[in-house]
Every structure is written in C-alpha cells, then in structure tokens.
C-alpha cells in the first residue's frame, strides 16, 4: 500500500469531542496536521451511540465547547439535556463552521504508532496498510470507545438481531411487536429501558447489579430561555469551574449536621425535583464523603424509588445492595422505575439465576430460557485505556504502551507517558476526563497540549518526554486522590473495573482517572504552563 513521504507536524487520532477541539487549535496555531478517524464520520461517542434515549446528563450548555464565543452565541440547545442526534448536529456545526473537515480522513483506523528515535518521528500505520510520518501523535481515542460483550457462550449463535448499544444500527430499528431482551442496567441500559418499554411487545431486563438512579428532569429550552442562558454563560462557567466535577451545581456548605433532619429531607425533596446531578453534587458534601450522611441519603433515595414501583418484590431487586448512593457513576433517568410497573416489562435477577448461555432463540439462565427476537447488550466499555490498548503503540526501544500499562497505568498529568516521546493524549487516563464533565476537561487538555507544542516550536525543540520522576510523582498523586474517595473499594469503571475486559493476572482496581477534581487539575496544568513546562524534558 502506498505511503506518503510527507512529514506532518502532528497526527491526531479520533474525531470525537476531543479530536475536533484539538485539530481546531492546531490549525489556529499553524501546525501542519491531519486527523484520522476510524468511523465513517466525525462525532465519536455521539456518532456511534444511536440507541433510543441516548442523551447528555450534564446540562447541555455546560457540555458545549467554550473556546469560541461565536459558537456560544450562535448555537441554540433545544433541551436542557440534549439528545444524541442534536449533539451530533452540534459537533458537525462546530466542524463545519471552522472548516475542520478538510483536515479529517474518515474510515481511517489507526493500527500502530511506531517511534523512530534517530529521526525523532512517529510512523502511524492504518488498518489499510497506509503509513504516515509525523513529529507528534495526539491520541483523542475516547474514554468509552471500546464496547464489551459478556463472556457468555453462544452470543453469535442467536438467530435474531443483536448488538451492543454503542453499535446500534444507523437505520431505524423497528421494535414494534418484538420480544426484546436487554443485558445491563448502567447509565446506558437505564436510558434505553425507559425509552423503549412502551414501544416493544415485551421487554426482559437482565440485571446483574442494580444501580442507584434519579430523575433527569429534562425540559425543552425556548428561544427566550436560550437567550437568558447565553447572557449567563460566564456565571454558569464560573460555577462549573469551582466544582469538583465541573457541573453547575454548587454544593451546600451549611454543614449536614447544622441542618435539622426535617429540613434536610425538605432540601432533598427539592433537589430530587431539580434537573441533572443536583442531588448528587448540589447536596451537602458530607453525603458523598461521610458514612452517616451517605447512609441517610441512600435511605432517602431508596424511599423515593420504592414509592415509584408498584410491586415491592421488584423494588427489592432494583435497590442496589453492593454500593450506596453516589458510589458508582450515577445514571439519570426519565420514568425508568415506572417502566417496571408495565405488564410487558420483566426484571430478571442474574444474581439469583446467572446467564448460562445465549441460544439460537434467546437467553438461557440457570432458571429458565427466555425466547427473544432482539438482544441489546448495554454491557459497558473497556474503560479509559481501552482505545489506546487496541493500537500497537511502540515507544523507545520498541516497548509497547499496552505492556507498560499491563499492571498499572502511569502517566504525567494524564497527557504524557515516559518512554513514549512526542506522544500526547487528550482525554487520556489519569486526567480528569474520566472523572468530571467531559468537554471542559477536554479543553484543559487541548490547551495544555497545544501550548506545549507551541513552546517546543518556539524554543527549537523536537523531542518531548515526561521524565520518570515527574510521571511517578503524578501517578502517586492520582493514587492518593482515588484512594481517599469513599468509592475506592467499589468495583466499577470509576475504579477501572470491567470483568469483560480485564486482562489475566491484573488487579480489579486501576488508577485510570484523576479524582482530585477539575479545579485542582486545572491549576496544576496552569502552573506547569507558567513554569514553561520545566518538568518536561525538551530537547
Ligand atoms: P456500565 O456503567 O459499565 O454498565 C454496564 C452494565 O452492564 C452494568 O449494569 C453491568 O452489570 C452490566 N454487565 C456487564 N457485563 C455483564 C455481564 N457479563 N452479564 C450481565 N451484566 C453485565 O456501562 P454503560 O454503557 O451503562 O455506561 C458507561 C458510561 O458511558 C457511562 O457511565 C457514561 O459516562 C458513558 P454489573 O454492574 O457489572 O453487575
């Protein structure tokens, strides 16, 4: 296969929220850059996840990019929690407004990045066999881009239609009259179940562990309301920038103990009806951090859920037993619990009767066989490092990044990794992309990466590497911040766990995200920029 002889300054891989933002900043700063995307078009997560009910659960106006005042002025978010088709339109609007498609090549899946120390260049090879040479590679591969299926026998034997939610078909799927089975009740499963329960003949939900969930309280945004939001953008961002997770809900600092129980309940009633993550992050911080407060809030939420479910035996199954409120990624829902009041919806508890195998006609648990026409796998992703591990990334001495990270993920600020010169990650492991509102985290990463490349260019440097000591110090900080979190011992993708993707002989717990919060992360990045990246080896 022919290969280009041209040497790029930068190759970006991935045209999702991160890649679009990164290529714009590279173009603005005069870098000769190209972007490769494996999918047929841009959008990443919002290109792929086309399942019914897919939408933000960050407020839309906190999810959009901040880098362009024009975009902020021109874009009208139609709902407080915008749905996938609209989010994809938004990303296309941004790309087209700045004419970014001309830098992008689609259906161009990266297979390997190989570092040549003598030339200080990377070779990026695509699955087509084409190879390209570049000074820098920037990975924008996404935190949730590798869907995982259960390790169950017979998945391929099923004669009906089946797919992972990430690969929901582009053409509309006719659910009418179908007996549908869905496996998984995480953030995705909860969105799908609520949306399709009244559109199918029967819906059989295969649940292993139940999740806490609370109302999204979505609503449309009129033109007048959008004008008001535009006028308040600065204030909204100021709130987001002060909060740990980057959401526009200020915690209540009156002190949990200083408020009477009756007033706490009245406050929680109010938060339960507010949009978004209010009950989780607009609450007393003690409810996340201290056992007594967390227990009381958990009991409160249990009461709210039970009140919405007719059959308390079903409610028993929907109340999580292995974690308390807020200790895993909290899904937000619209009429999710009410779905179980419908005659056509059945909840199967896989802890009582695990899946034995998928058959030609359905799913067989140890208790019975369920005949199905369609199976939906809402079974999650190989989180955060999954996309990077699927590319053969060879740094100094031909060492593979996947091998380096086999037992422990280590990075410098979640952007660089020692032994992999001129390789940068936006939305990478150990940044705040996996632990806070995604796009503001992305913009922090893009800003840092772009400034580092400009600094290298301005100072005549052609080789960038994180020293081992700097990486060790950052990894230590990442471990410290995760271990102090109350959820540190709960298995979920927050703690890097997915049994469907876990490598043999590795720990159940990984340090894949930085849990020190968006403000602390941002100020760390800003300090390193102010110090001219003095902790990075530049040559
Ligand atoms: P999650 O949050 O990882 O949820 C996956 C769900 O699938 C969860 O309920 C799992 O149950 C279930 N699961 C996974 N494997 C199996 C097997 N083998 N058998 C039965 N059930 C299984 O993924 P989502 O897509 O919902 O959300 C991912 C993130 O993407 C989300 O947080 C957003 O930030 C975007 P388990 O709890 O492991 O028992």
Dihedral sign computed on CA atoms, order 18, 24, 30, 31: positive
Hey, whose CA ends up nearest to atom 12 of ligand 1?
184
pLDDT at 5: 87
CB-based contacts of 437, cutoff 8 Å, min separation 6: 58, 62, 63, 240, 245, 246, 247, 518
Q: Is the CB of 186 under 6 A from ligand 1?
A: yes
Hey, whose CA ends up nearest to atom 29 of ligand 1?
187
Q: What crossing angle do the helices spanning 291-308 and 261-272 adopt, rounded to 10°?
A: 50
Residue 433: both structure tokens together? 């992309």
The tens digit of pLDDT for each residue in 222-233 reads 999 999 999 999
Closest CA to 381 of 212, 220, 186: 186
Task: Indicate the top mutation candidate among 153, 167, 184, 499 to test ligand 1's pocket, ranked by most ligand atoms within 8 A of CB.
Answer: 184
- Residues 39 and 152: beta-carbon distance below 8 Å: no
Alpha-carbon span 32 to 67, nearest angstrom:
21
- What is the 322 CA–ligand 1 centroid distance (Å)? 14
* pLDDT < 50 stretches in the chain: 2
Q: Is the CB of 500 under 6 A from ligand 1?
A: yes
Q: Is the CB of 189 under 6 A from ligand 1?
A: yes
The tens digit of pLDDT for each residue in 377-404 reads 999 999 999 999 999 999 999 999 999 9
The tens digit of pLDDT for each residue in 319-362 reads 999 999 999 999 999 999 999 999 999 999 999 999 999 999 99
- Residues 350 and 205: beta-carbon distance below 8 Å: no
Following DSSP, what letter does each residue of 301-368 receive, concatenated? HHHHHHHH-S-HHHHHHHS-SSS-TTSS---EESSHHHHTTSTTEEEEETTTS-EEEE-SSEEEESS-
Q: Is the CB of 184 under 6 A from ligand 1?
A: yes
pLDDT at 338: 98
pLDDT at 3: 62
Residue 249: both structure tokens together? 């809900």
Q: Give the neighbor-by-neighbor strand order of the sheet with 355-358.
A: 355-358, 362-365, 369-371
- From the CA of 165, give the closest atom in ligand 1: 25
Q: Is the CB of 209 under 6 A from ligand 1?
A: yes
3-class SS shares of the chain: helix, strand, coil, % to 5: 35, 15, 45
Q: What is the CA radius of gyration of the chain?
A: 23
- Residues 205 and 185: beta-carbon distance below 8 Å: yes
Q: Is the CB of 183 under 6 A from ligand 1?
A: yes
Alpha-carbon span 280 to 249, nearest angstrom:
9
Task: Indicate the top mutation candidate among 183, 208, 280, 376 to test ligand 1's pocket, ranked by most ligand atoms within 8 A of CB.
Answer: 208
Q: Is the CB of 181 under 6 A from ligand 1?
A: no
Following DSSP, what letter does each residue of 19-65 receive, concatenated? HHHHHHHHHHTT--EEEE-SSSSS-THHHH---TT-B-SS-HHHHS-
Hey, whose CA ends up nearest to atom 10 of ligand 1?
184
pLDDT at 503: 82
Dihedral sign computed on CA atoms, order 217, 220, 225, 230: positive
Task: Indicate the top mutation candidate among 149, 186, 508 to test ligand 1's pocket, ranked by most ligand atoms within 8 A of CB.
Answer: 186
User: What are residue 237's phi and psi, to 5 degrees?
Assistant: -65, -35
Hey, whose CA ends up nearest to atom 28 of ligand 1?
380
């Amino acid at each position: 296969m022919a290969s280009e002889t041209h040497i790029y300054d930068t190759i970006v891989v991935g045209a999702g929220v991160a890649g679009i933002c990164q290529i714009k900043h590279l173009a603005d700063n005069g870098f000769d850059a190209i972007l490769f995307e494996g999918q047929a078009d841009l959008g990443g997560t919002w290109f792929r996840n086309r399942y019914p009910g897919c939408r933000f659960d960050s407020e839309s106006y906190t999810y959009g990019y901040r880098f362009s005042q024009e975009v902020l002025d021109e874009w009208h978010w139609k709902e407080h929690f915008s749905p996938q088709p609209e989010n994809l339109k938004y990303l296309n609007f941004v790309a087209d407004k700045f004419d970014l498609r001309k830098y992008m090549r689609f259906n161009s899946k990266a297979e390997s990045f190989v570092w040549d120390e003598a030339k200080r260049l990377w070779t990026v090879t695509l699955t087509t066999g084409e190879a390209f040479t570049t000074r820098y590679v920037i990975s924008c591969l996404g935190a949730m881009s590798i869907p995982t299926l259960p390790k169950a026998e017979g998945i391929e034997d099923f004669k009906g239609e089946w797919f992972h939610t990430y690969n929901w078909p582009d053409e509309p799927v006719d659910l009418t009259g179908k007996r549908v089975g869905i496996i998984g009740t995480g953030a995705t499963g909860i969105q799908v179940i609520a949306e399709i329960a009244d559109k199918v003949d029967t819906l059989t939900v295969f649940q292993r562990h139940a999740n806490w969930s609370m109302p999204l309280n979505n609503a449309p945004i009129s033109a007048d309301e959008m004008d008001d939001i535009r006028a308040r953008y600065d204030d909204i961002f100021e709130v987001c920038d002060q909060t740990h997770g980057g959401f526009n809900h200020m915690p209540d600092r009156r002190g949990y103990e200083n408020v009477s129980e009756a007033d706490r309940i009245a406050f929680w009633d109010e938060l339960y009806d507010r949009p978004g993550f209010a009950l989780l992050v607009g609450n007393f911080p003690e409810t996340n951090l201290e056992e007594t407060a967390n227990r009381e809030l958990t009991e409160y939420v249990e009461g709210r859920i039970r009140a919405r479910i007719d059959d308390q035996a079903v409610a028993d199954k929907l109340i999580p037993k292995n974690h308390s409120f807020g200790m895993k990624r909290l899904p937000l829902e619209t009429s999710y619990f009410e779905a179980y009041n419908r005659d056509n919806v059945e909840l199967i508890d896989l802890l009582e009767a695990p899946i034995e195998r998928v058959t030609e006609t359905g799913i067989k648990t140890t208790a019975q066989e369920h005949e199905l026409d369609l199976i939906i796998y809402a079974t999650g992703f190989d989180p955060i490092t999954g996309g990077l591990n699927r590319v053969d990334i060879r740094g100094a001495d031909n060492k593979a990044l996947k091998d380096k990270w086999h037992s422990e993920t280590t990075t410098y600020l979640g952007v660089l990794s020692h032994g992999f010169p001129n390789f940068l990650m936006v939305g990478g492991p150990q940044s705040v992309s996996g632990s806070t509102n995604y796009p503001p985290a992305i913009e922090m990463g893009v800003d840092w990466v772009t400034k580092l490349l400009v600094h290298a260019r301005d100072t005549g440097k052609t080789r960038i590497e994180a020293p081992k000591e700097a990486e060790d110090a950052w990894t230590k900080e990442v471990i410290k911040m995760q271990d102090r979190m109350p959820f540190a011992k709960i298995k979920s993708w927050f703690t890097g766990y997915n049994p469907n993707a876990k490598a043999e002989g590795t720990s159940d717990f990984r340090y894949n995200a930085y849990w020190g919060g968006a403000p602390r992360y941002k100020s760390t990045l800003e300090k390193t920029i102010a110090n001219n990246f003095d902790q990075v080896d530049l040559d």
